[in-house]
A and B are shown apart, each in its own frame.
Chain A
Amino acid sequence: MKPMLVLVSVDSNSVLLGAKHFVNYLKDLIGKYGLQDTVDVLETGTMGVYTQGVVMAIFPDDVYYSVRSTEDVEKIVTEHLLKGRSVLSLEIPKDRLKLVVEKEKVSAETRIVLRNVGSIDPRSIDEYIARDGYFALHKVLSEMRPQQVLECVKASGLRGRGGAGFPTGLKWEFTAKVQADQKYVVCNADEGEPGTFKDRLIMEGDPHSVIEAMTICGYAVGATKGYIYIRGEYYGSVDNIQKAIKDAYEYGFLGKDIMGSGFDFDLTVRLGAGAYICGEETALLESIEGKSGRPRLKPPYPPTNGLFGKPTVINNVETFANIPQIILNGPEWFKSFGTAGSPGTKVYSLVGNVVRRGIVEVPMGTTVRDLIYRFGGGLVGGKDLYMVQTGGTAGTFIGIDKLDAPLDYDSFKNYGVSIGSGVILAMSDEVCPVDVALNTMQFFAHESCGKCTPCREGTRLAVQILERMSKGQGKLEDLETLKQIAYVTQEASLCGLGQSINVPLLSIVENFRNDFIEHLKASSCPHGVCEFIKIQKSKVKT
């Protein structure tokens, strides 16, 4: 071990700020100044500190820097590493670190899924193993029968984290029960819900947890082949997952006769090609088969008739990432987190006008208010909260009267607040509900695959009506028509995309009815967003 260590936070946010580039530059400089025997550079995931730059920590000095340019990197090397003087101008004040990192972030967060993210080098299988990685797989293969694995997952009460919340153990059991010559395990990593980037962080920060879980699932249900379907835009995720798969093969955790158990499992990565609908499970299967991603008619469901017509388990990245810890610590441990109906934790993407935008993992049942104010630090500039989108674009829009709803898989039924894929998008009154509704419906109209009429035409019609309203040309009947569209698409659409359009549409029209009414009456948009265009009434000739 070298005397000095520089940890660089490389997560999806810092990558955008040039973290990779800075790491390479840092290594070059260390070579140039002949420091390669004294200084080690390690990349890690997020450190839970949010600044305007890339966070670099120097140990044993325990100094944290916020780096924004290559000049900053150079300063740190020539001043700190070479001469031992801290660069005060770049240093993140200690009080801020202690306050943000320990009191508000780490102590309050409960990390199961993200336990390794930011603590290990995601590209090193050894570091994953050092944190009990692949211990669960070993336990399963050496001590447990497939049926026992199923019982364990079932008893944990884990529910699918992709949004629908279907009990994971039950899904696995359906597939396990079917006799077939080939079964598959598929990981849905086509994270396309606007506002969500949790799966990306898991895959970039702890890729082995997903691989280990999929192998365990394969053993439990009798599948020998797996696919991870990743969004084409997620270059970093693809890179890290592919490296992790390669290493797992080398260590004998994938491939033939895993850990001498006689169990075989192969894993392949498939890339998406830019279609939101492919997040729908049967559309995703079609896409893996090389076809257009149009959803299939259900039933039959994937657990019995899935990929290439064979029984298939499909789970979200976050769902899988829970599995190794459940196996190691037992279902009772898992149930000690969260609520009775939804045990465990949930990873949220905090976005919009909150102070600390980013990812947090907290127990199920945490309220929207806590997420925005305790973890998100409230709104930028101390502005007033006006509207929150929860769960993603297919989730709900709520006003401040519903902030105390505890979020879990029953909160939509009980409070009309959807947990979905874990988006919390906070908005001040500088945004206009009509405009946001229009943006949301334009999204669905664009992403509707066109296979079934209610979804294709319903979304198009909703866009037309909302466009009229945002120009100040709406009518009172339009509100009723919007509601009708919502009901019909929900009832008559083929897949989850069309069936869930009613959730955002109804929630925004009902919770912000006053804003819609004002757009019908007022001469300008009350939020100053929409541009009204008045129709010239044709003059009647006399």
Chain B
Amino acid sequence: MPDLCTTGERLLNELDNYISSIGAKPDKLISVLQKAQELFGYLSVEVQQHIADALDIPVSQVYGVVTFYNFFSTKPKGKVQIKVCLGTACYVKGGDRVFERFLEELGTKPEEPTKDGHFFIHPVRCLGACSMAPVVLVGEKDFYGRVKPDMVPRIIEKYKEVK
């Protein structure tokens, strides 16, 4: 069992290294937040405070940016992120039914982690793969195109073991 405290410190160190590599200027805020989210999985108040100090801007400004963009989250998001596209092209091809099936199979609500904290479902608008509609994106790179509701259990099965 790794010591959580040291893990946190190690990640903060890594974040500081990243900040100094790109230069600690206010216009780098979004890049820094993207890196922080990648490292921590979400942006806690402590991390936001840390970034505000590092870039020498008010924490209120950091919070404003974090809550403005869909990509950032202030709560833990679960290990496996599933994005189901409800953009117009996917919607008319049945994206909504795929989305509902995911919620049903996992017994959860949109934008809330499952009880075991493993899965997290986001409804999104357009992933830029409209010719494959309806589209599901798991994690950052696993795309599933022309998804039918009956394919949902198989997709979920593939990610149950992800650590």
**A residues adjacent to B (C-beta < 8 A):** 12-13, 15-17, 191-197, 200, 231-235, 270-276, 287-294, 308, 349-353, 357-359, 389, 393, 423, 425, 427, 431, 436, 439-440, 443, 446-447, 449
Is the Cβ of B91 less than 8 Å from the Cβ of A436?
yes
Is the Cβ of B140 less than 8 Å from the Cβ of A235?
yes
Which 6 interchain pairs have the tightest Cβ spacing? A194-B87, A274-B70, A290-B29, A273-B69, A357-B131, A16-B143
Is the Cβ of B69 less than 8 Å from the Cβ of A235?
no
Is the Cβ of A290 less than 8 Å from the Cβ of B145?
no
Bound CA–CA A234/B143 (angstroms): 12
Is the Cβ of A292 less than 8 Å from the Cβ of B64?
yes
Provide the residues of chain A in CB contact with B61, threshold 8 Å.
Answer: 291
Provide the residues of chain A in CB contact with B128, threshold 8 Å.
Answer: 12, 191, 196-197, 200, 231, 233-234
Bound CA–CA A27/B43 (angstroms): 40
Provide the residues of chain B in CB contact with A233, threshold 8 Å.
Answer: 127-128, 137
Is the Cβ of B33 less than 8 Å from the Cβ of A273?
yes
Q: Which of B122-163 contact A (CB under 8 A)?
A: 125-133, 135, 137, 140-141, 143-145
Is the Cβ of A425 less than 8 Å from the Cβ of B92?
yes
Provide the residues of chain B in CB contact with A350, threshold 8 Å.
Answer: 131
Known: A235-B140, A274-B71, A290-B30. A195 touches B87 (CB 8 A): yes
Is the Cβ of A197 less than 8 Å from the Cβ of B131?
yes
> Can you list 30 A-B contacts (CB < 8 A)?
A13-B129, A13-B132, A15-B143, A16-B144, A17-B145, A192-B126, A231-B128, A233-B127, A270-B31, A271-B34, A272-B71, A275-B69, A276-B125, A289-B26, A290-B28, A290-B30, A293-B69, A294-B68, A350-B131, A351-B89, A357-B130, A358-B131, A393-B87, A393-B88, A423-B130, A425-B89, A436-B92, A439-B86, A443-B125, A446-B125
Bound CA–CA A235/B127 (angstroms): 11
Closest residue of A by beta carbon distance from B123: A446
Residue among B33, B65, B92 making CB contact with A353, cutoff 8 Å: B92
B27 at the interface (CB under 8 A from A): yes
Q: Which of B22-81 contact A (CB under 8 A)?
A: 25-31, 33-34, 61, 64-65, 68-72
Bound CA–CA A292/B135 (angstroms): 28
Number of B interface residues in the complex (CB < 8 A): 40
Is the Cβ of A440 less than 8 Å from the Cβ of B88?
yes
Known: A200-B128, A233-B128, A276-B125. A194 touches B88 (CB 8 A): yes
Bound CA–CA A275/B125 (angstroms): 10
Closest residue of A by beta carbon distance from B64: A292
Bound CA–CA A289/B55 (angstroms): 13
Is the Cβ of A427 less than 8 Å from the Cβ of B92?
yes
Is the Cβ of B89 less than 8 Å from the Cβ of A12?
no
Closest residue of B by beta carbon distance from A447: B125
Is the Cβ of B26 less than 8 Å from the Cβ of A290?
yes
Provide the residues of chain A in CB contact with B143, threshold 8 Å.
Answer: 15-16
CB distance from A380 to the nearest CB of B (A): 10
Provide the residues of chain A in CB contact with B125, threshold 8 Å.
Answer: 192, 194, 276, 443, 446-447
Bound CA–CA A235/B87 (angstroms): 19
Residue among B29, B68, B133 making CB contact with A293, cutoff 8 Å: B68
Bound CA–CA A231/B30 (angstroms): 13
Bound CA–CA A195/B93 (angstroms): 12
Provide the residues of chain A in CB contact with B145, threshold 8 Å.
Answer: 13, 16-17
Bound CA–CA A192/B33 (angstroms): 21
Closest residue of A by beta carbon distance from B25: A290
Known: A13-B131, A15-B143. A194 touches B72 (CB 8 A): no
CB distance from B22 to the nearest CB of A (A): 10
Closest residue of A by beta carbon distance from B26: A290
Provide the residues of chain B in CB contact with A436, threshold 8 Å.
Answer: 88, 91-92
Provide the residues of chain B in CB contact with A353, threshold 8 Å.
Answer: 92-93
CB distance from B147 to the nearest CB of A (A): 11
Is the Cβ of B88 less than 8 Å from the Cβ of A273?
no
Provide the residues of chain A in CB contact with B33, threshold 8 Å.
Answer: 273
Is the Cβ of A16 less than 8 Å from the Cβ of B87?
no
Bound CA–CA A215/B133 (angstroms): 36
Is the Cβ of B69 less than 8 Å from the Cβ of A274?
yes
